Amino acid sequence: MNKVICFGEALIDMLSNRIGGADPAGPETFTKYPGGAPANVAVAVGKLGGNSYFAGKVGQDMFGDCVRDAMASAGVRTDYLLQSDEAKTPLAFVSLDQHGERSFEFYRDNTADLLFRAQEFEDDWFAEPGVFHFCSNTLTEAGIREATLAGVRKAREAGFIVSFDINLRHNLWPADFDPLPSVWEAIEQCDLLKLCSEELEFLCRDQEEEAVIQRIQDAGVSLILITDGGNPLHYIGNHLAGKLQPPSAKTIDSTAAGDAFTGGVLYALSTRNLGIDQLRQLNDEAMLEEILNTGMLCGAFAVTRKGAFDALPTQADISA
């Protein structure tokens, strides 16, 4: 089974008890849940039984310890998770509307996750076949953007599949900074791209959708996955394209749905020991749809639970 390294931010989601703006019976309270998009993906892979690693940096504080312990309990190898005494673990305050859709308020100024540097990637992390996964939240500032792209280069040189989930959070970017060039730079370095319909609209701007999809393929991306909540998943590979309907589920909290989907897909790829050449040449529709169905089952399960790590399924959960 190939290893899966997820790189980026690990944080604490502080989930409000106020749903859809309605006042709770008592004061508004916030419950802590370990999270962070790439951390969620690592935990999704780990809870399914995959060979999961998380690379990144948290604070040497109670929240950093919470994240580390929760990852380890979920089956994630934390060898590549560093702790810093120079900065704190980031926080995200999360509110839900009446449909379980979330909004975020991030406390992420000079936090530990932004201090990871290129030289902290070790060569031996990439000594065996695997997948390297990241998101755009580590492209928001120069230092962490340089480190992220350095990790991507190491992964590509080692023959890893590079997976990129755009996962765009506009309020994490400087107000006067356009994320689009940085996002395209990352797209041009990945083999598997996951984005939602809103992120596709962001990429399009003044271009037609077909032209944007073609640009992504011309950049060398071998598999594009476009999600749209409970609407059909659109997949586009070098030799295959189609749509799949996700399972229906009652949404309680959508916080980790996309990450659960991505984690399920990466787990299914890694258990088949698929490398970059096999991904580029993939023309087995049944196999690809089986891989994507694993991801969709994980996403459908996750929306029925609160939180991030806690909402991610095990093999027994998705079998049921």
What pLDDT digit, counting tens, does each position of 279-305 carry? Answer: 999 999 999 999 999 999 999 999 999
* Residue 19 DSSP SS3: strand
Most confident of 19-28, 151-160, 307-316: 151-160
Check whether 214 has a pLDDT greater than 70. Answer: yes
pLDDT value for 23: 62
pLDDT at 194 over 70: yes
Residues 21-40 have a mean pLDDT of 82
pLDDT at position 97 over 90: no
CB–CB of 106/137 below 8 Å? no
pLDDT band at residue 119 using 50, 70 and 90 as cut-offs: very high
Q: Is the pLDDT of residue 100 over 60?
A: no
- Contact by Cβ (8 Å): 282, 288: yes
Cα 79 to its chain centre, rounded Å, is: 19
217 — pLDDT class (breaks 50, 70, 90) = very high
* CA nearest to 270, candidates 55, 78, 35, 41: 41
State what percent of residues in the chain have pLDDT above 90.
Answer: 81
CA–CA gap between residue 320 and residue 15 (Å, rounded): 27
DSSP 191: S
Looking at every residue in the chain, the average pLDDT score rounds to 94
Beta pairing, strands 3-7 & 130-135: parallel
Domain 3-319 has CATH 3.40.1190.20: yes
Strand partners, 228: 230
59-74 tens-digit pLDDT? 999 999 999 999 999 9
**What does the alpha-carbon distance between residue 125 and residue 286 come to, in Å, rounded to a whole number?**
32
Instruction: Place 99 in a pLDDT band, splitting at 50, 70 and 90.
Output: low
Q: What is the mean pLDDT of residues 25-47?
A: 91
